[in-house]
Amino acid sequence: MAELKADEYKSFESIKHVDENGNEFWNARELSEILMYSKWENFSKVINKAMLACKNSGFNIDDHFPEVRKTIAMPKSAKKQVVDYQLTRYACYLIVQNGDPRKEIIALGQTYFAIQTRRAEVAEVFNQLDENNKRLVVRGNIKQWNQLLAEAARNAGIITDKEFAIFQNAGYMGLYGGLSVSDIHSRKKLGKDEKILDYMGSTELIANLFRISQTEEKLKVDDTGNPEEATNTHYEVAEKIRKAMIEMGTTLPENLPTPEKSIQVIEREEIRKLRESKKPLMLDE
């Protein structure tokens, strides 16, 4: 997680509201400005993803994203009613987790709104999800753990894109019995711009999540400061996970089936279902 700077901390605090019952909330339109989204349409897409994550975590969307109407000023003294949301802290957390990772303020927001890890939050309901939603949950966790792993790799001296590619490849080779990223990509018969993580079933994703999280932890514990050592650590952790799978007699990751639908397709379908299940709005922006 990024170190939270005082000014950014104050910016999140400055838009916090408290209702008559003492409950904190943030208005989505004010949060969008803090997070540097100039267009509401773009921010509403992030809200949709956060709502889906909320649903998959077993929580009621309306409890965390209640819709409200808000009047805003328009040119020539005109006024317009628009949709806004009164967001709980948890809703804000999910929003920044699904925001544009290239924005520093998003990383700072992740720290500010951090609560229990999402993996712990979905533990009780995970087994009740269908395969598609399990994939969405685990893929979301992998995105966050990959950020932590990238930070640990940088601390170990892995700086350039080439070094990081070698580092990442080592982890896959350890887990997949010597298969490189390119080999796995070809084995799954993916197109040039398709990512292998987006074409994994939940079981394969969980194996990779374990590889990523355990490597990140190992790098921190060892306080590795050498890029070559860090790359070897990634390979060795992944290889040990593979050996454990062999000992347990479970299916090795390269032999698991490749889903037909990508994570992006499933996400769009689930968001569409989510929107269709909600009552139509009384106004249209």
Interval 149-165: pLDDT, tens: 999 999 999 999 999 99
CB-side neighbour CA atoms (13 Å) of 152: 26
The mean pLDDT value for 211-224 works out to 91
The token duo for 7 is 């000014």
Across the beta sheet with 16-18, the strand order is 16-18, 24-27, 79-87, 67-73
Residue 232 confidence class, pLDDT cut points 50, 70, 90: very high
Question: Computed over its alpha carbons, how large is the radius of gyration of the chain?
Answer: 21
Residue 19 confidence class, pLDDT cut points 50, 70, 90: confident
- Residue 121, pLDDT > 60, answer no
% of the chain residues with pLDDT over 90:
58
Nearest by Cα to 169 from 156, 178, 160 = 178
Kindly compute the dihedral angle of the four CA atoms of residues 63, 65, 67, 73, in this order, to the nearest 10 degrees.
140
pLDDT in tens, 45-97: 999 999 999 998 888 999 999 999 887 776 767 778 888 999 988 898 889 88
What H or E segment, with its residue span, contains residue 12? helix 6-14
